[in-house]
Amino acid sequence: MSDIRYLAPQTLDDAIAQYAAAEGAARILAGGTDLLVQMRSGLLKPSTILDVKKIPELTAIERTADGGFKIGAAISGAALEEDPDFGKAWPGVLEALNLIGSTQVQGRASMGGNLCNGSPAGDAVPALVAAGAVATIKGPNGSRELKVEDVPAGPGKTNLKPGEILVSFTFPARPKGSSDAYLRMIPRTEMDIAVVGVGVSLTLEGGTCTAARVGLGAVAPTVLLVEDAAKALIGSTLDDAAIEKAAAACSAACNPIDDKRGTIAYRTKVAGVLLKRTTAIAAERAGRT
């Protein structure tokens, strides 16, 4: 068995230097709930593991100046759950993250890892897309920002450049009457991977939807931002016609495959069904009466 080098840098700068020095032979370890499984199955054989959980920027929960949040990419779902404010502003993001795995896994798994794993079925990702979260990325050539929906490049791939590390997510401030929700379809009640996942974030003013974003997972090579669905909701009172239109937009956006987890026909139909159910939950949370 070949040896694996384990590094646990204390600062972001050290991490970037070590990651660059490994020249592509290193893998980042946040919670490890995907990485270790992939290593055990023989899918990945990294020569260096770079543990990023000791870096302050990756494990901080901060309020931004405008009232939003900045969340370290390596924070576990269980840790984020304990924050007194985040779940009130972004219940959909939190529920999506904490649908992943068992209680033990939730103590390890992070949003950053879920996004960088590149799976179109990652539960946190559609909720992050719906939330309009922005990823802060740092590499040898400095810092940059990417919208979450622009991070995945295909199954198992991201648009991060060699040497870049995902540092944190920035969530915008929430106007009054805003909330979000995430639902996924799995055949069982637990211990499963999304066949379709839908995240909806919206704002209601006097019964009218003034802002909305829809993220759709597991129906295309990457998680999708479904702008047509959002357009159908914005300006409406979330009446049946608007919801139907948004659901149809979700189904239309699907570009799925037939595989062991679901058929094309099934995923396409279920995307619309889940849009309706997720929107209803988000609207209720946003205070619709």
* 3-state SS class at 10: coil
The reply on whether position 240 binds another protein by CB under 8 A is no
The reply on whether position 257 binds another protein by CB under 8 A is no
For the bound state, the minimum distance from the C-beta of residue 14 to another protein, rounded and expressed in Å, comes to 32
The reply on whether position 285 binds another protein by CB under 8 A is no
Q: For residue 157, give every residue at least 6 positions away whose Cβ sits within 8 Å of its Cβ, in sequence order, or none.
A: 118
Spell out where the chain has E strands: 5-7, 26-29, 48-51, 61-63, 69-72, 134-139, 142-147, 152-154, 157-158, 165-171, 178-185, 196-205, 208-217, 224-225
The reply on whether position 3 binds another protein by CB under 8 A is no
For the bound state, the minimum distance from the C-beta of residue 5 to another protein, rounded and expressed in Å, comes to 18
CA 206 to chain centre: 30
The reply on whether position 265 binds another protein by CB under 8 A is yes
Helix, strand and coil content of the chain, in percent to the nearest 5, comes to 35, 25, 40
Closer CB to another protein, residue 15 or residue 100?
100
- Select the span of 70-78, 121-129, 138-146, 255-263 touching another protein (CB under 8 A): 255-263
- Select the span of 28-36, 58-66, 122-130, 184-192 touching another protein (CB under 8 A): 184-192
Burial class of residue 93 (count of CB atoms within 10 Å of its CB; 0-12, 13-18, 19+): buried
For the bound state, the minimum distance from the C-beta of residue 157 to another protein, rounded and expressed in Å, comes to 22
Query: What phi, psi does 103 have (nearest 5°)?
Result: -55, -40
For residue 41, what is the enclosing H or E element?
Answer: none
Question: How far is 108 from 91, CA to CA, in rounded Å?
Answer: 19
Contact predicate 181/191, CB 8 Å: no
For the bound state, the minimum distance from the C-beta of residue 190 to another protein, rounded and expressed in Å, comes to 5
- Select the span of 53-61, 172-180, 189-197, 234-242 touching another protein (CB under 8 A): 189-197
The reply on whether position 260 binds another protein by CB under 8 A is yes
Three-point CA angle 225, 226, 231, nearest 5°:
125
- Select the span of 18-26, 125-133, 192-200, 236-244 touching another protein (CB under 8 A): 192-200
x/- mask, another protein, residues 140-179, rule CB under 8 A, reads ----------------------------------------
The reply on whether position 191 binds another protein by CB under 8 A is yes
- Select the span of 74-82, 84-92, 140-148, 185-193 touching another protein (CB under 8 A): 185-193
Structure tokens given for 78: 């269980």
Q: Which residues bind another protein (CB under 8 A)?
A: 1, 185, 187-193, 195, 259-263, 265-266, 269-270, 273
